[in-house]
Structure 1
């Protein structure tokens, strides 16, 4: 069955997006206040433009973008999407949302925001996606992602749907979609790093009072230049350092060469020389 697509913002220009590029960048690095706004806006748009015109007659299941252990930025946005959608469903005397997860086995560490469509598919093509097909039977599925650039993730989800022989009504929902194919896919990198030029730009996001860890920020920190990483991490709280370490282990980053040096220093700070963290972090 062919899926349907809804995107709140369609990008036709490389300079005007319909949303603030700086906010999008901070969202990608864990600003949960912006995640709340994005998720709420996406839900309101989908309700007014789709659900209000075609009242759902099946149980809705919301599925965030695939991840292994560390959630993506979309996961934080998904939470607020569900909150807003549930309010509308409850007022409409309809069953509230169910959720499930696409389990993802990741085979690469690269940030593919600068890559073209073919390079992205080569990179992501070896990943494996798994879902509980029995749980989804006879339900309407909403797959959420923050942005559609080349459609590589969408093709992987479609491949998974075919593999599990799912015949559900399926929607692919995006906060934004690159609608102008003349714009190079590396526009995604421009958006992702608009407000994060160096590791030290993360301090305000992490300590802003509404931070949600995600895959991007963990990878970015652990891949950073060693000297700058050490200077940065010594100035963070022990709580953040411990969360970073635990998330990294959960995604098996301790087995990846690119992360080992920084992760080893983080482990040293937490379990051997923790006075240094306490001094700067508290």
Structure 2
């Protein structure tokens, strides 16, 4: 098994990118319009550079980045990648894609994008990934992620593939990849927070009709200071807060001590709509 990698954009300059950093930041915090643009662009590039003119294609399975209960931002991008790819496959007489999930078991509060390569590998090395091996037999695997910085997640995927003895043809696809190793991995957080500097910068995203929850925004709200969280909750609709709480519980965030204060605020908000946060 020799995996093939593909990245639509290459990052070789810490201040100059061939995609919009603000759009990327909004995407990471749940802007589904940006997820659509990124997913469609990645599919178009993959079709153009890797699929066109190669003849018959085996059944493909698209697999988004691993998650437990709350999907990652990549999951939203994956949806539009699949829609775009399926249209091309159907038009050219190929089978449309199937999907499956990589399950992960460890929840952590650390901001992954701020870590060095060694810290990332140490953190994610405590995790374990699981997949349905029998469902994948005889199929081409397409693992999708939004960005490749140090390759730690990729190594975990390949470790899983080895453990499950996967012999499938495999593609590792990224919207962007850091190719200049002189740039510190924290460039990821430079992009993640390019437009979101505080919890209040989330309001234009979550108040739009194109918002979708992901792990990043849930963790960001739970991790902000309690005074900001109080004020932020006052500006949110009840349906948003209710969904936020349910997702946090589903991802076991109530077991993380540093999230407890803000989770209590959310719980009180839901239990008593007139609870005075300030």
The TM-score normalised by the length of structure 1 is 0.96
Does the CA-based 8 Å contact 1:222-1:259 persist in structure 2?
A: yes
Matches within 5 A, 1:1-282: 1-271=1-271, 273-275=272-274
Does the CA-based 8 Å contact 2:89-2:95 persist in structure 1?
A: yes
Q: How many Å separate the matches in 2 of 1:25 and 1:10?
A: 17
Structure 1, unpaired ranges of 5+:
278-282
Deviation at 1:275, TM superposition (A): 3.8
Deviation at 1:209, TM superposition (A): 1.3
Structure 2, unpaired ranges of 5+:
none
Q: How many Å separate the matches in 2 of 1:93 and 1:250?
A: 40
Q: How many Å separate the matches in 2 of 1:219 and 1:19?
A: 25
Deviation at 1:56, TM superposition (A): 4.8
Deviations 1:47-103 (A, max 9, x none): 000011324521000000000000000000000000000000000111111000000
Q: How many Å separate the matches in 1 of 2:54 and 2:154?
A: 24
Deviation at 1:276, TM superposition (A): 5.8
Aligned residues: 276
Q: How many Å separate the matches in 2 of 1:276 and 1:46?
A: 51
Which 4+ stretches in 1 moved above 6 angstroms? none
3-state SS in 1 of match to 2:57: coil
The TM-score normalised by the length of structure 2 is 0.97
Q: How many Å separate the matches in 2 of 1:55 and 1:48?
A: 13
Coordinate RMSD, CA, aligned:
1.0
Deviations 1:195-252 (A, max 9, x none): 0000000000001210010000000000110010010011100110011001000001
